[in-house]
Amino acid sequence: MRVGLYIPGIDKRFIGGPTKYQINLARALADLNEVELFLLHHRNVDSLNIKAKHIIISERKPILWEVKLRKCNLDIVHFNLIPTTRRIFFPILNCKKVVTIHGDLHWIKEPFVDYNRWNYRIRRLVEPWSNKFMDAIITVSNNLRHRLIQFLKVTESKIRVIYEGVSSEYKPLKKASHIKEKYRIPRPFIFHLSNLSAKKNPQTLFKAFSQLLEKDFDLELVIAGARWSNKLIRSMIEKIDFASNIRILGYVPEQDLICLYNAAELFFFPSLHETFGFPVLEAMACGTSVVTSNAYSIPEIAGDAAILCDPHDYQGFAKAIANILKDEELKERMRMKSLKNAKRFSWEKCAKETTKIYEQLLVGRT
C-alpha cells in the first residue's frame, strides 16, 4: 500500500514528542514490507536517515499542495496534527485520511493553560469539523482518547489507541560516568528533561530539590532541554539558597541524553500534564528510577515502575526521592521494574499496529 506521511515539522532543531513520533514511526514503517512509504514535505529531508524511497516535495500553500497530492495515487495520507488552517482543504484528497493526535492542551481548562489564546480558539472551533473527514484517528494513550471522544464529539470506534515507542538506543550502559566530566557535574545528580513550559511544573521541581538539600543531601539538579535559560527561571533559582547546585544544560545531543539518564541517581519529572510522556519511558529503558506525577496519562505509561505523587506536592516528591537515595534495594527494585515496563513499548509494535489500521481502512473495515 502507498502511504504518505505528512512531515512538515520533522526537521526542526528542537524535537518535541510529536516530531519524535514522526521520525521513529517513519523509520519503522519504512522497514515493513507492507508499506511503500512516501514522505510529504516542502523541502528535501534526506539527512534524516529514513529509508523511504519517495519524497514528495510540494508547495506549502493551501490547495496547491492538495491538488498535487491527488495526482500521486496514494492509498493513505497520515497527518500528525488535526488540519485546521493551512491544510484546511485536505478533504479533497482522493485517499483515506488518518491523523495521530498527541495533545489536547487547547481543550483543557487548567491554570497552566492560556485557554483563550487565539490559535487555541481556532483549533477548538475547526477540529470537530475537520475530524468528520478523517477515516481513522490514532491517539497515543487511553487517557487522551477518553477526553477526545468528548471534545471532538466522535464515536468511540473511530479513535484507536496506539502507544508510541522507545528507541533501542535507550538502554543501560556499562560506562556513563564520562558524561559528568563533559558537563562538569561534580556531585551525584537528579536529572530532569523537558522543553520548558508552564505544564512542566518548574516551581515544584525547584521546591522539591530545595527540600532535599535542606535535608543535607549532597546533590545537583541537572536540567536538559530547550527554553530553560530565561529570566523567569533565573529568578526562581535565585530565590533558592542552593542555586549553585542547579545546572541548566540546554539542548543536548541524543547520545549525551542517554548517558545522562544512565549516570543520574534518578529521573524526576513532576509534570502537570502529559498525553504520553517520552522522558519517563526513556529513563526507564535506561534502567533509571523514576519519580513523577500522577497527572493525566503518566500513570498509564509508567505502570507500577515509578513512584507517583500529586504534581503540587513538592514535599511528597522530596520524600519519595530521599527514600530512593537512601535505599539501594529500593533503587534496584525500581530499576528492574523500569526495564520491564519499558519493554511494553517499541516502534516496531507501533508501526505494525498502525499498518493494521491502514489495511482495515483499505478493505472497508473500521
Average pLDDT of the residues of the chain: 92
Cα gap 210→218, rounded to integer Å: 11
Cα gap 64→80, rounded to integer Å: 20
Confidence band of 53 (pLDDT split at 50, 70, 90): low
Cα gap 102→208, rounded to integer Å: 29
Reduced to 3 states, what is the DSSP secondary structure of residue 90? Answer: helix
Confidence band of 267 (pLDDT split at 50, 70, 90): very high
Residues 333-344, mean pLDDT to the nearest whole number: 97
pLDDT at 366: 46
pLDDT, tens only, 91-104: 999 999 999 999 99
Residues 279-287, mean pLDDT to the nearest whole number: 97
Confidence band of 137 (pLDDT split at 50, 70, 90): very high
pLDDT at 11: 66
Residues 249-269, mean pLDDT to the nearest whole number: 96
Residues 315-323, mean pLDDT to the nearest whole number: 97
pLDDT, tens only, 163-189: 999 999 999 999 998 999 999 999 999
CB under 8 A, 24+ apart: contacts of 305-311: 305/334, 305/337, 305/338, 305/340, 305/341, 306/280, 306/334, 306/338, 307/334, 309/270, 311/201, 311/204, 311/270, 311/271, 311/272
pTM, two decimals, is: 0.93
Cα gap 110→273, rounded to integer Å: 9
pLDDT, tens only, 71-120: 999 999 999 999 988 889 999 999 999 999 999 999 999 999 999 999 99
pLDDT at 365 exceeding the cut of 60: no
By mean pLDDT, which of 56-70, 102-116, 292-306 is the weakest? 56-70
Residues 289-306, mean pLDDT to the nearest whole number: 97
pLDDT at 334 exceeding the cut of 70: yes
pLDDT at 161 exceeding the cut of 70: yes
Ordered by where they begin, the domains of the chain are 2-165+346-362 (3.40.50.2000), 178-342 (3.40.50.2000)
pLDDT at 140: 97
pLDDT, tens only, 189-200: 999 999 999 999
